[in-house]
Amino acid sequence: MSILVTTWLNFLFCQFSEIDIWPKPDEVSGLMKLKGYKCDATVIIDCTEIKIVQPKNAISQQQCFSSYKGCSTIKVLVAMTPTGGVSYVSEAYGGSVSDRQVVEKCGFLDKLTLGLPDLALPL
């Protein structure tokens, strides 16, 4: 069963990773005006950790162990538009990596437009 799920997830990743769903600032601000909110951000980001089975390899165990969760995890950066649409999902990293390192490594910063308010950081 897990081979079937893994195969489909890999297939879907390959298909959807080719689609550019990055929102344009004017589109987001137009939608927010319709809903009655004022938001200058194009995307809101956060890293999420997903619990996984502990790897057998000692090096992989060390890379995946999250001291925050106390178990083996993978960490993914997710960006959403202010209206709730998912606009970016990074590759998965071992749970021991910090949120900042994920943002720097995954290429997310390359998508931001200089001089425009693209990003709302979680408080």
* Secondary element (H or E) of residue 101: helix 99-105
Q: How many CA atoms lie within 13 A of 94 on its CB side?
A: 13
Phi-psi region of 105 (alpha: psi -120 to 50; beta: other; left: phi over 0): alpha
DSSP β-ladder status, 86-89 and 71-80: antiparallel
Q: Is 31 exposed, middle or buried (0-12, 13-18, 19+ CB in 10 A)?
A: middle
pLDDT tens digits for range 65-120 = 998 888 999 999 998 877 777 888 888 999 999 999 999 999 888 887 665 554 55
Question: Nearest-CA neighbor of 68 among 97, 32, 100?
Answer: 97
Write down the domain spans for the chain.
Answer: 21-120
pLDDT tens digits for range 45-65 = 999 998 989 889 998 889 999
Q: For the whole model, what pTM was predicted?
A: 0.69
